[in-house]
Amino acid sequence: MTGTLNKVMLIGHTGDDVKMHYFEGGGAIGRFPLATNESYTNRTTNERVTNTEWHNIVVRNKAAEICEKYLKKGDKVFIEGRIKTRKWQDDQGNDRYTTEIQCTEFTFLTPKGESEGGGNMQQQNSPAQNQHNTPKNDNFANQSMAKEEEEDDLPF
């Protein structure tokens, strides 16, 4: 096979609110942990076993601002993206590695008003799939859809 694929699809619960970082040029990055669970029954002891895997989610720019506004700790969300490992140095100069999920699309799965933070959460589907965005988010959806149309160079 000549091509490669780096694609991740996760459904899980947020472990914290989105932490934002803004840049001088107007860009933004949002980060939050996402928990996914695996449950099975141990055949020898017949007890239910649940394992939780934590994922570091990174979302950028307008999508990050949407996540910050609507995602609260404990909310269920679908994330689609790619795996990226970053290398950095700690205070002692040791090389450290962090594996993150660079989010390209998301869908909020917690029903409106049921988030842990309560209040006025509005369901927000991934921009490419949602035709019913709030007016504030219409521009973001149109940009994402236009980008996908540009990337589609299939002859049929």
How does pLDDT run across 84-106, given as a tens digit for each residue?
999 999 999 999 999 999 999 99
80, 89, 66: which is closest to 18 by C-alpha? 66
**E strand residue ranges, the chain:** 8-14, 19-22, 28-41, 48-60, 76-89, 95-108
Q: Is the pLDDT of residue 37 over 90?
A: yes
Q: Is the pLDDT of residue 122 over 70?
A: no
Measured distance CA(154)–CA(17) in Å, rounded: 39
Q: Is the pLDDT of residue 116 over 90?
A: no
3-state SS class at 139: helix
Q: In what helix (H) or strand (E) does residue 138 lie, and over which residues does it extend?
A: helix 135-151
Interval 47-81: pLDDT, tens = 999 999 999 999 999 999 999 999 999 999 999 99
Q: Is the pLDDT of residue 28 over 60?
A: yes
Pairing of the two strands 76-89 and 95-108: antiparallel
**pLDDT band per the 50, 70, 90 thresholds, residue 113:** confident
Measured distance CA(63)–CA(61) in Å, rounded: 6
